[in-house]
Amino acid sequence: MPAETTDIDDIREQARRWLDDDPDPASRAELRAVLDRLPASAPELADRFAGPLTFGTAGLRGPLRAGPNGMNLAVVTQAAAGLVGWLAAQGGTGPLVIGYDARHGSREFAERTAQVATGAGRPALLLPRPLPTPVLAYAVRHLGAVAGVMVTASHNPPQDNGYKVYLGAELGGTLGAGAQIVPPADAGIEAAIRSVGSLAEVPLGPAGQVLGDDLAASYVERATAVIDPAGSRDLAVAYTPLHGVGAAVLTAAFARAGFPVPGVVPEQAEPDPAFPTVSFPNPEEPGAVDRLVALAEATGADIAIANDPDADRCAVAVRDTARAASAGGGVAGPAQPDAAPPGWRMLRGDEVGVLLADHLMRRGVTGLYATTIVSSSLLRAMCAARGLPYDETLTGFKWIVRAGGGAEPLVFGYEEALGYCVAPEHVRDKDGITAALTVAELAAGLKARGRTLTDRLDELAAEFGVHHTDQLSVRVDDLRLIADAMARIRAATPTALLGQPVTEAQDLLPEADVVILRTGAARVVIRPSGTEPKLKAYLEVVEPVAAGDVAGARARARDAVATLRTEMTKTLNL
C-alpha cells in the first residue's frame, strides 16, 4: 500500500476517534465535512491532527476549528479537566475564577470551563460579561482564587482564540500571585491535560456563580488609585479599543480619575469578533490606528491611545509635526514610518516604557524596575544613574513580574511589545488600562507646563543618549526555516556589526532560544516569536548627544539602525 494512502487512513482513523468523543455537534459536522472531501482535504486534515495545542508563552492559542490542533469545545473541555485535576493534585483550595473576551466561542469556552470545575467539586466564579484580561488578573488576587482562566487570543486574527492560566498565591507564591503560569506548573498542567481520558467521562456541573458588576467597579477604583489625585486633569484624549472589550472599563476609569472622558472611535467602540475595520487587530500593525489618529486630529486631542482587543496592551500616538520624519517614527515594534498620518506618530513601546518609568521615578516611587532582554537598554541606564535596582528577564510578563526573585519589590515592569505594569500589587501582569491612566497623568502634567511627551523624550535623550530601537520580523509558513536560521546564526555568528567588532555573543540555550550580539554602540537580540510563526531580531543603537543636538543624534541613530536592519536581513537569509 502506498505510504500516502497509509497516512490518509491513519489520519482518517484519528478523526473518527475524535468525532466519537467531540461534545460539540457543530465541530463534529465541520470535521465530517472535511472527511467527506478526502483525498483532496488530506493536507487540511493532517494539519488539524498534526498534534495537540500545547501550553506555550500565552497558554493555549490557535485557530477556531475542529480537531486537536485547534481551539474548540473538546480541546477546552480537556484543558479544563487537566487544569482542575492538576489544581487538586497540588492541594490547591479555593475557587477558580474565569474571564472571557468577545471573540467567537469565548463565552462558551468560559462556561464549559466553569462546568468542568464545578463537576469536579470546585467552586467556579464567572466574570459577568466580556471584560479586559487585566480585570481577570486582578480578580485572581482580589477574590483569593486558587487560579484563573482568561479565554482570549489577545491581538491575534479574528479566526483565533486562546486560553491563559493564572495562579493564585497558594500555588503561585508571593511573586506569582495573580500572574501567568511558569515552569514547572505549565509542564505539570500539560501532562495532566494529556492524561484526561474520554471527554464523555468528564463530569460537568452547573456553570458556576456569575459575579456582579461590583468586581469591575472594584478594579476601576483600584486602577484610579495608581495616579496622583492632585495632578492636572486638563487633557483631551482620543481612544480606540479596536473592536475589543476595553472601552467601558477605560472610560469609567478616566471618568472616576477626573479626566475628561476620551472620545472613542465610533466604528470601533463596541466589541465585534470580526474586527471589521482592521486587517489585523493589533495597534502595532500598519493601518490599525488610522481611524484613531483621524479622530484625534479632527477633535484636537492632545494624545491618542489604543488598547488591543483584550486591553492588556496600550499604544500611544502623539502630535509630532516637526519630528515625525526625523524621530524614527512608526508603530511600536516593526518599523512603519508611514503608519500614522502626517503630524502624528506612534510612540514605540520602548519610548512609552521609559516615559512611564521616568514618571514614576520622578514621583518618588522606589523599588525594582524591570524589563526584558529584547527591550531598550535605556531603562538600565536610568536606574544606574538614579541609584534604583534594575533587572532584565526573558520575554513575557510571567517573567517580568518575577524579576529580581523578590529581593526588591517590583514597582514597574514593561516590555517593548506595548505591555506595561505600573502597579504590580494591583495587577501582576501587563495592564493597558492603568498604563493609559498613567500616560494621561504624565501628559496632563507636561501640558500644564507647556510641554509634551516628545519634549520629555528629548530631555531623556540629552541626558542618556539616543537609544533607537527597531525590530526585524520575518513571518514563515514552515517553522523549520526558523530553526534553520537560528542554527546558522550559532554556527556562523557575525563578528562585526556596523563596522564595529562584536564584543559579546551570548547564547541563552538551553534556558531560551535566544542569541544576543553586542558591540560598543549596538545590540541585536535574535529569537523565535513565542506566539506567532515569526523570527524576530530586536535592534538597538545608542548614539551620544553632542552639544544638545538631539535631532542630529536621532538622525545618526536612525541611519545606523537602518544599516543594521539591512545587515541582519542578509544574515538571517529568510
- Which residue in the block uniquely carries the three cell numbers 482562566? 149
Long-range CB contacts (within 8 A, 24+) of 224-230: 224/253, 224/256, 224/257, 224/437, 225/426, 226/422, 226/423, 226/426, 226/434, 226/437, 226/438, 227/257, 227/437, 227/438, 227/440, 227/441, 228/363, 228/441, 229/258
Query: pLDDT tens digits for 13-67?
Result: 999 999 999 999 999 999 999 999 999 999 999 999 998 998 765 689 999 999 9
User: pLDDT at position 573, please?
Assistant: 86
Sign of the dihedral defined by the CA atoms of residues 34, 35, 41, 45, in that order:
positive
Q: What is the CATH number of domain 465-572?
A: 3.30.310.50
Where does the pLDDT of residue 435 fall: very low under 50, low under 70, confident under 90, or very high at 90 and above?
very high
User: pLDDT at position 2, please?
Assistant: 40
Give me the chain's average pLDDT, please.
Answer: 93
User: pLDDT at position 325, please?
Assistant: 43
Would the pLDDT of 322 be above 90?
no
User: pLDDT at position 265, please?
Assistant: 98
- Give the residue ranges of DSSP H helices in 207-348: 214-224, 247-257, 290-299
Would the pLDDT of 386 be above 50?
yes
Would the pLDDT of 390 be above 90?
yes
User: pLDDT at position 58, please?
Assistant: 62
Q: Which CATH number fits domain 235-449: 3.40.50.300, 3.30.470.10, 3.40.120.10, 3.40.50.150?
A: 3.40.120.10
Ranges in the chain annotated CATH 3.30.310.50: 465-572
Ranges in the chain annotated CATH 3.40.120.10: 55-212, 235-449
Q: What is the pTM of this model?
A: 0.93
Where does the pLDDT of residue 69 fall: very low under 50, low under 70, confident under 90, or very high at 90 and above?
very high
User: pLDDT at position 281, please?
Assistant: 95
Would the pLDDT of 335 be above 80?
no
Domain 55-212 fold is: Alpha-D-Glucose-1,6-Bisphosphate; Chain A, domain 3 (3.40.120)
- Pairing status of strand 419-421 against strand 237-240: unpaired
Known catalytic residues are 154
